[in-house]
Structure 1
């Protein structure tokens, strides 16, 4: 027995009266909250109105969960439609089984609907969401730990995961005749590898977007490519049942296809980073990021404001230069005062002390 192995929980559901509190659902909710917080912060920094992320989440989150479950059921149909399957259990989302690819696709459809209603581009939302989504995925992976699932091959490494025979329906580890949880063995913690990778992807996307100021949602493409790389090698470690094509798990092929699609998008799509401007009447307008060449060309950035101010100052100087001199024409200043000490008559009845130069 590996004494240094990481222990797994023996329970994943607690009952608060008639209400079951499931760790898997809690982890997913915490991940969604984290993604919303990050996305809201990035949106506000780019000119979006307060709480815009909530208007998007009410569409994207349910669609993402539905898409995730549909993908899992389609790619692993035996447990639900096989000889010993139960189709009704396809609705038991709390027992685990959410496909990331379906989640992203379903969430994108929901976000697209919300963007159409709000009048903002989906690329703006995707760019702001890019670091938050892998953060949510990493937090959600803790649910797999509670369910004693998503592990790799057997190992004797110190960070091996002790896995119990688990009944996800009851949310408890199966017990032996002595009342002890039944241990399956010690395995690679694939869920933990993906958790660490997801957090690394979130940090990578955040730093690269901060450095290069990706436009047109290209930050999201960076997230997709980085996630696919990690998911590919982690998927090779998994030992849970899955459909295979040409000797490789279906999710590996999906990772390859999605990576190539994101790479093509990243290389072909051009454009400045997008910001939002909210007018007094509540109208939302998409503008180029301040400081970008497109911002100066369209007159929406600080460079344009400086140029406008300079032009205004130049015009004012020209007007001042064209103004007539206050000194009246035809005055002979070399003429001496008369004997009474009065100034020469200039034809101006204004008192002398009020004239310029006196």
Structure 2
């Protein structure tokens, strides 16, 4: 607790992951030729969008928990109770990053390649929160690294509370496969793969980000099959995240095969401002005259031009000098 505000370990893990992603992404962005501070500026848009997207995905794929007969719609807003879908976080976070990149004149693929390993590392750190929440686990196991699940209750009411409650005894009620731990380790391997592939092949135009997406979804596909916690099922009895992982993996592989452009080289060309319409016979209003500033009025036709006043001691233009 921080005064009256409860501090959740899950939230601290997410914050730590965001900090790592921004700092590492900033370092890689500058090393690739970008302007310092840009990643932090773009993160101001990407992070809030990502949090909203992650929550939306969770709520939409677990609709009955909040809007079913026994659900409470207000609980959909209680993000501190857990429930963020990485698919929605990355998708809507990319929209926020696109907005930030446009404001700073940076191509989104260039930005995505720089932050890719930091993002998957942030996911690994965020998975530590699942250990504190006793969630995202698999079937019972006798392996030495099995996750011990304890019964937690609210001391004030005695009601079971897996998130904020305390363990009532020291005997676990189950020992299960820690699938969140498998994903954590896999994410770190993917981060290393992205860094290696990026250096080895000088990936650009979003291909380093595609390596991250392909690597993550490949591992998530098989890890998801080990999980036994409640989840939305589609196509009979398939967990929805298994289907999403397979579809996104195929898209990432297709992108890697189709995009063959070399790495972008900053500085990037500035965005071209919109030009006012040009009428026949009249130069554009913003056209600059040689050696001067931009003209504010169109030049008058030759027939309407008045001769310039003569300087002292000189005859006017077109008149002979009658001085005796």
- TM-score (structure 1 length as normaliser): 0.71
Q: 1:264 & 1:278 partners in 2: Cα distance?
A: 27
Of 245, 249, 255, which residue of structure 1 is paired with 2:245?
255
Which one is further off, 163-172 or 90-99? 163-172
Alignment partner of 1:43 is 2:32: no
1:5-20 aligned at under 5 Å gives the runs 15-20=1-6
1:63-102 aligned at under 5 Å gives the runs 63-102=49-88
Q: 2:34 & 2:249 partners in 1: Cα distance?
A: 30
1:277-292 aligned at under 5 Å gives the runs 277=267
Of 91, 108, 115, which residue of structure 1 is paired with 2:94?
108
Alignment partner of 1:268 is 2:258: yes
Q: 2:208 & 2:12 partners in 1: Cα distance?
A: 28
State the Cα distance separating 1:242 from its structure 2 match.
Answer: 0.9
State the Cα distance separating 1:169 from its structure 2 match.
Answer: 7.7
In structure 2, the gaps of 5 or more residues are: 153-159, 273-324
State the Cα distance separating 1:168 from its structure 2 match.
Answer: 5.3
Alignment partner of 1:173 is 2:159: no
1:168–1:130 distance in 2 versus 1, CA, 3 Å = farther
Tell me, yes or no, if the aligned pair for 1:173 and 1:181 is still in contact at 8 Å: no
Q: 2:170 & 2:67 partners in 1: Cα distance?
A: 30
Q: 1:96 & 1:182 partners in 2: Cα distance?
A: 25
Q: 1:256 & 1:227 partners in 2: Cα distance?
A: 11
Partner of 1:346: none
Report the secondary structure of 2:6's partner residue. strand
1:169–1:95 distance in 2 versus 1, CA, 3 Å = farther
Question: Which digits, 9 at most, give the CA deviation of each residue in 1:259-278, with x for residues without a partner?
Answer: 11111111111211123228
Of 134, 139, 164, which residue of structure 2 is paired with 1:153?
139
Q: Which structure would you say has the larger Rg? A: 1
After TM superposition, the runs of 4+ consecutive aligned structure 1 residues lying more than 4 A away are 166-170
1:182–1:110 distance in 2 versus 1, CA, 3 Å = farther
Q: 2:166 & 2:225 partners in 1: Cα distance?
A: 26
Question: Which digits, 9 at most, give the CA deviation of each residue in 1:159-206, with x for residues without a partner?
Answer: 11101234558612353xxxx267330000011000000001001111
Alignment partner of 1:232 is 2:221: yes
Q: 1:168 & 1:263 partners in 2: Cα distance?
A: 42
1:188–1:128 distance in 2 versus 1, CA, 3 Å = same
1:284–1:165 distance in 2 versus 1, CA, 3 Å = farther
Partner of 1:244: 233
1:215–1:170 distance in 2 versus 1, CA, 3 Å = closer
Q: 1:267 & 1:170 partners in 2: Cα distance?
A: 44
In structure 1, the gaps of 5 or more residues are: 1-14, 286-358
1:50–1:284 distance in 2 versus 1, CA, 3 Å = farther
Partner of 1:303: none
Tell me, yes or no, if the aligned pair for 2:133 and 2:163 is still in contact at 8 Å: no
RMSD of aligned C-alpha atoms?
1.8
State the Cα distance separating 1:54 from its structure 2 match.
Answer: 1.1
Partner of 2:303: none
Alignment partner of 1:188 is 2:177: yes
Equivalent pairs, count? 264
Q: 1:200 & 1:233 partners in 2: Cα distance?
A: 15
State the Cα distance separating 1:232 from its structure 2 match.
Answer: 0.6
Q: 1:107 & 1:230 partners in 2: Cα distance?
A: 21
Of 124, 127, 132, which residue of structure 1 is paired with 2:113?
127
